[in-house]
Amino acid sequence: MLPGDMALPAAAAGGEIAALLTDLFVVLLAAKLGDELFKRIHQPAIVGEILAGVLVGPSLLGLVEPGEVLEVFAELGVVFLLFWVGLETRLSEMREVGGTALGVGILGVVLPFVAGVGFALAIGEGTATAVFVGVALVATSVGITSAVLIELGVLSGRAGRTILAAAVIDDILAMLLLAVAVGLGEEAGFDVVGLVATLSLAVGFVLFFALGGTQLLQRQPRLLHTPRFSESPLLPAVILCLGLAAFAAHIGLAAIIGAFLAGLMVAETKEQHPIEDEIAPLYAFFPPFFFAFIGMEVELGELADLETLAFLTALTALAGATKYAGARLGARSLGTDEAHVVGLGMVPRGEVGIIVAGLGTAAGVVGQQLFVVIVGMSVLTTLLIPPLLRRAVQRGVGGPPEP
């Protein structure tokens, strides 16, 4: 592309920036093509985006290396995804499913955790490692399921709301288990007082913004839309989203919990201003980076021996079966069809399993093979569930007919 030596120094002007812009271009183009292709073959678009990430990532073509910048774009992807989900959700609707969601959240955490710990102990791992495997099996990636439910137009159905509320509870429990796991891994032991304080802060944060925040904006929508501010409440809303996401991440929750709460709050002002039209482009731009990034994390080369594949298959089956069983049991009051949708919807591990695996490696209790297998399991649950969920929704809850 560079015609002569004299061009090189000048090109170096934006050399690094040029490379990063190229990464963003390649990832977005690949994700969009994967998305379009999977829509044509009547499959969930996000599966196409994840596979596009596998294709351009280090495993196959090696066009793009997942670095810090892409990670931030991926994180903003899931942040804007959950902000959008919050915008589409009314707190009153969440309250209706609260009891059921609590059952789904707790059972959907306990079963996979016990199974993961038991499985790891059975194959000869130590306690600290076993606890990490348990936590990796616990974490649900609500981003994946939300995206599929949005695509099918049933996010605001009863099953969709139950999944959302359960995912918030799930994340709080997972955070506590993770604190325990990291404590064990570093042999720091338990600090029960600290654990209770962490739990209180997390629950307090969620309740404060879910209840107080929505009340405040319901009564004072002009806080976001005051005519003294310029035309659009877009930036105030986005700033609120980033602020709560950062705060949630600082107290050990997933950033997306904060983004979801911000969405719930802003949703209360929708009658004053149709803000969804303005959030939609951000929701179109960022999430493809999230899905493609998950795919880029897969290390196909490392998975290519029989023992690892067998391990991966077993762990994936265990992760899927126990989460499905726990969540479905918790949702049994919704009836067979919707309980099935809830059970499936809680299974994808997505980025959360990958983060847990990374933390375990950092704590020195998750080895290379186990890391690769946990990442593989997270991506496999994420790839296998959307088609099943699509079918379940179309049959059970009544989505759009198969074209």
Calculate the alpha carbon distances from 257 to 122, 146, 149, 353, 398 in Å: 34, 13, 18, 16, 28
321-325 CB contacts, 8 Å cutoff, 24+ apart: 322/111, 322/112, 322/114, 322/115, 322/116, 322/137, 323/108, 323/111, 323/112, 323/137, 323/140, 323/347, 325/111
Q: Which of 28, 128, 152, 373 binds its own copies (CB under 8 A)?
A: 28
Is residue 37 a contact point for its own copies (CB under 8 A)?
no
* Distance between CA atoms of residues 328 and 344, nearest Å: 8
**Segment 309 to 348, residues that bind its own copies, using CB under 8 A:** none
Q: Is residue 187 classed as helix, strand or coil in its secondary structure?
A: coil
Closest CB to its own copies among residues 123, 207:
207
Closest CB to its own copies among residues 255, 342:
255
- With vertex at residue 332, the alpha carbon angle to CA 330 and CA 335, rounded to the nearest 5 degrees, is 150
Place of tokens 């196909």: 300
Closest CB to its own copies among residues 99, 190:
190
List of residues 6+ apart from 345 with CB closer than 8 A = 145, 148, 149, 159, 160, 163, 327, 385, 389
Is residue 21 a contact point for its own copies (CB under 8 A)?
yes
Is residue 364 a contact point for its own copies (CB under 8 A)?
no
Tokens of 198: 């962490």
- The answer to whether 373 and 311 are in contact (CB under 8 A) is yes
Closest distance between its own copies and the C-beta of residue 242, in Å?
4
220: which DSSP letter? -
Closest CB to its own copies among residues 25, 208:
25
At 60, phi and psi to the nearest 5? -115, -90
Q: Which of 37, 71, 223, 299 binds its own copies (CB under 8 A)?
A: 71
Name the segment binding its own copies (CB under 8 A); options: 20-28, 106-114, 338-346, 365-373. 20-28
Q: Which helix (H) or strand (E) holds 236?
A: helix 234-250
Closest distance between its own copies and the C-beta of residue 388, in Å?
23
Q: Which of 41, 62, 68, 92 binds its own copies (CB under 8 A)?
A: 68
**Segment 85 to 144, residues that bind its own copies, using CB under 8 A:** none
Q: Which of 42, 61, 65, 69 binds its own copies (CB under 8 A)?
A: 69
* Distance between CA atoms of residues 209 and 168, nearest Å: 13
205-211 CB contacts, 8 Å cutoff, 24+ apart: 205/247, 205/248, 205/251, 205/253, 205/258, 206/168, 206/172, 206/257, 206/261, 209/244, 209/258, 209/261, 209/262, 209/264, 209/265, 210/91, 210/94, 210/261, 210/264, 211/91
Closest distance between its own copies and the C-beta of residue 329, in Å?
27
Q: Which of 94, 101, 144, 279 binds its own copies (CB under 8 A)?
A: 279
Closest distance between its own copies and the C-beta of residue 79, in Å?
8
Closest distance between its own copies and the C-beta of residue 93, in Å?
26
Closest distance between its own copies and the C-beta of residue 252, in Å?
4
Closest distance between its own copies and the C-beta of residue 71, in Å?
7
* Distance between CA atoms of residues 60 and 184, nearest Å: 36
Q: How many chain residues bind its own copies (CB under 8 A)?
A: 85
Closest distance between its own copies and the C-beta of residue 336, in Å?
33
Q: Which of 65, 123, 153, 186 binds its own copies (CB under 8 A)?
A: 186
**Segment 224 to 253, residues that bind its own copies, using CB under 8 A:** 229-230, 232, 234-236, 238-239, 242-243, 245-247, 249-252
**Segment 280 to 299, residues that bind its own copies, using CB under 8 A:** 280-282, 284-285, 288
Contact string 190-219 vs its own copies (x = CB under 8 A): xx-xxx-xx-xx------------------
Is residue 178 a contact point for its own copies (CB under 8 A)?
yes
Closest CB to its own copies among residues 11, 309:
11
* Distance between CA atoms of residues 54 and 34, nearest Å: 11
Q: Which of 355, 369, 394, 396 binds its own copies (CB under 8 A)?
A: 355
Is residue 18 a contact point for its own copies (CB under 8 A)?
yes
